[in-house]
Structure 1
Amino acid sequence: MNIATGSVLNMAPAGNDWVIAFDYGDETAPEIVRPVIGWATVVEAHLSDGTATTCLQPAFLYLDMVWTPTELREHDSRISGFEVRAREIARPVTTVQIVEPAEQEDDTPEVRVFYRAAGWVLDGKSVEPCTTNFHRQHLGHPACTDTAVWKVVENHGMSLSVGVYCDADLPAEHRSAARA
């Protein structure tokens, strides 16, 4: 397989404690600092036997796109001086807080409860076991073998959480919704 030099093969997320700094090569130009959002495996070169050598490069947001230093240099040759640094704890790189007015007053999720006597198949293959089995296992208790007949869907706005429960393990806060 012929993969172009500079291609990103894969990327792993980075913690929020790294930044990359660079400039436009002009001593008077301000330094540009961006948070590192991931670590990319980048094709560095091709050997004569056809294998590719790779290196690890930071991936960062700049001009509404994700870049690696190699890609940004190809895009704009004036950019230079890439330096990866630990983020200064006292001065965050970027702080963004988006809060909808309605969410400030009441951030409880919208909860929907469903019943199905045969149980719930969420993976398309088999009936799901009771969600409480995860906690039971950590507490050293035996697994629940009853059919998980209740499905609880919590809408948190940007995410959903789904749990399936047997009749005995349906959390008390959801029983009133189950009766409705």
Structure 2
Amino acid sequence: MTIVPRPPVPFHTPTPGFAGRRWPCRVYPGDPAQAVWVRKDLRADLHRLEGLGPDLAETVVLCASEMFANACAHSRSGEPGGRAVRTLSMPTAHTLHLSVIDNGARAEGPSRPQIPRRRTVKEWEEAERGRGLLIIDALATSWGTRAVVDFPLCQGLGRAVWADFTLTGANSNGGAR
């Protein structure tokens, strides 16, 4: 009798996306230096997803980094002891849903994230900040914000900034609109 070994399964076998797929939530301290871990963990989570080209993967990572930076800069997540939560799921077989949940609005800040619109061309040229949501708006299929708990007595408990990305095929390099 001849024994024939099975060929090894490649380590990078893609896994198909499916409606209802969820990755574990990841919680990070609300320190901007943690953005490197947000990016690294997200790349690891997306690594084997079938239909996610390298350009779209980097687009998702960039948007997550911007969301996390905004949570640290503009919410109580950036205060001592603050945290931000990153979630990742697939509501449909071709849609990737990313969100970053913060600890709620600071007393002095705006109550919800918004794109700065009242700037002159010169102000935009000189501005060192304020482009994160513009980047997300340009790269995601859709995006928005929502309260973590939609109940009047729970206002201020946190806000989720979310973005959806369309998977366009295993050999695709894009997906941004």
Structure with more of its chain in strand, by fraction: 1
Structure with more of its chain in helix, by fraction: 2
Q: Report which of the two structures shows the higher radius of gyration computed on alpha carbons.
A: 1
TM-score by length of 1: 0.17
- Larger relative contact order (C-alpha < 8 A, sep ≥ 6)? 2
